C-alpha cells in the first residue's frame, strides 16, 4: 500500500516500489524504467476509497506491460471471489493479469492466501521457492475448497451482481436527496459513498443501529456485505443510513 499510515510498525518494507496515482497512465509510463519488472494494482481499489478504473486504464496497463516485457499483477484480495458480481474483478474489464493474489473470502474467514499465475510465469518457480511454514495447511485449504464450492454452486456471484446493483441504486437515491453525499461508486457488493464531511461518526451510529460498515480515506463509507445479503436487508440498512445522514445535515 502507498498509504504511509499502514507502514508504521512493519519496517523494513520490501524495497524497490514506486507509487503512482490510480487511473493515471501517464504517471505509470514515467515511473517505468530499465529496472521495472512488474506493475501491481488493485483492479478496484478498496482501502483507497472504492475507486473503479476509468475507461482504458487496465487495458493501458496491460499494453505497457506487453510493450516493456513486464508482468501485470492484480491484487484481488478484497475484490476477488465474487465480491464485484463476477468471480474476479478483472473479468469486468477483459484484461487478464499474469499474476493474481487472493485471500480474505477465499476460505470464508479461515486464514489463507493464494498466488495464482499463468503457466509461463509458473515455470520460473520450482518446488520450495515459494514455501512457507503454514503454506498449504490442511485445515485452511479444506476450508478454501469448501468456500469456493459454495460461492460457485450456491449462486453467490449472481447474488452479488443482482443485489449489488439494487444496493447501488438505493445508495444513489440517498445521493440525490442529500447534499452531504458527493458520489456513490462501486461494483457488485463493494460499494462506496463519498461524503463532503468526515464519516467516522456515521460508522459509529450505524453500529449502534446494528449495521457494520467502515470508512476509508476519512470520508468514504464502504459497504462490504456478505455475498448472501438480501434486498430486504439492504432496505433496512438504507433506512438506517438515510436517518443518520439526515441528522448530519
pLDDT recorded at residue 128:
84
pLDDT recorded at residue 14:
87
Q: What is the mean pLDDT of residues 206-221?
A: 98
Q: What is the full DSSP assignment across 181-197? A: EEEEEEETTEEEEEESS
Given phi > 0 = left and psi -120 to 50 = alpha, else beta, which region is 34? alpha
Q: What is the mean pLDDT of residues 114-125?
A: 95
pLDDT recorded at residue 151:
98
| pLDDT tens digits along 129-147 | 888 888 889 999 999 999 9
Q: What is the mean pLDDT of residues 218-224?
A: 98
User: How long a stretch of residues is the chain?
Assistant: 249
Residue 223 confidence (pLDDT) above 80: yes
| pLDDT tens digits along 59-97 | 999 999 999 999 999 999 999 999 999 999 999 999 999
Given phi > 0 = left and psi -120 to 50 = alpha, else beta, which region is 9? left
| DSSP letter (8 states) at residue 53 | P
Of the chain, the percentage scoring pLDDT greater than 90 comes to 88
- Sorted by where each starts, the structural domains of the chain and their CATH numbers stand as 4-153 (3.40.640.10), 156-248 (3.90.1150.10)
Question: CA distances (Å), 39 to each of 3, 26, 35, 94, 102, in order?
Answer: 17, 14, 12, 17, 17
| DSSP letter (8 states) at residue 45 | B
| pLDDT tens digits along 20-68 | 999 999 999 999 999 999 999 999 999 999 999 999 999 999 999 999 9
Amino acid at each position: 500500500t502507498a498509504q504511509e499510515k499502514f507502514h508504521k510498525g512493519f519496517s523494513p518494507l520490501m524495497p524497490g516500489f514506486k507509487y503512482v496515482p490510480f487511473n493515471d497512465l501517464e504517471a505509470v509510463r514515467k515511473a517505468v524504467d530499465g529496472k521495472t519488472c512488474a506493475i501491481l494494482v488493485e483492479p478496484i481499489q478498496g482501502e483507497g476509497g472504492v475507486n473503479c478504473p476509468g475507461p482504458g486504464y487496465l487495458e493501458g496497463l496491460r499494453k505497457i506491460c506487453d510493450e516493456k516485457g513486464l508482468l501485470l499483477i492484480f491484487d484481488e484480495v478484497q475484490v476477488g471471489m465474487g465480491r464485484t458480481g463476477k468471480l474476479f474483478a478483472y473479468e469486468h474489464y477483459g484484461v487478464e493479469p499474469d499474476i493474481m493474489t487472493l485471500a480474505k473470502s477465499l476460505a470464508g474467514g479461515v486464514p489463507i492466501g493464494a498466488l495464482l499465475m499463468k503457466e509461463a510465469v509458473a515455470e520460473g518457480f520450482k518446488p520450495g521457492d515459494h514455501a512457507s511454514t503454514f503454506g498449504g495447511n490442511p485445515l485452511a485449504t479444506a476450508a478454501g475448497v469448501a468456500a469456493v464450492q459454495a460461492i460457485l454452486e450456491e449462486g453467490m456471484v449472481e447474488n452479488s451482481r443482482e443485489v449489488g446493483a439494487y444496493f447501488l441504486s438505493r445508495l444513489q437515491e440517498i445521493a440525490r436527496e442529500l447534499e452531504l453525499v458527493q458520489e456513490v461508486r462501486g461494483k457488485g457488493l463493494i460499494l462506496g459513498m463519498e461524503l463532503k464531511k468526515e464519516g467516522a461518526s456515521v460508522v459509529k451510529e450505524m453500529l449502534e443501529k446494528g449495521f457494520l460498515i467502515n470508512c476509508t480515506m476519512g470520508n468514504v463509507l464502504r459497504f462490504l456485505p456478505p455475498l448472501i445479503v438480501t434486498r430486504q436487508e439492504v432496505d433496512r440498512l438504507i433506512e438506517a443510513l438515510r436517518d443518520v445522514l439526515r441528522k448530519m445535515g
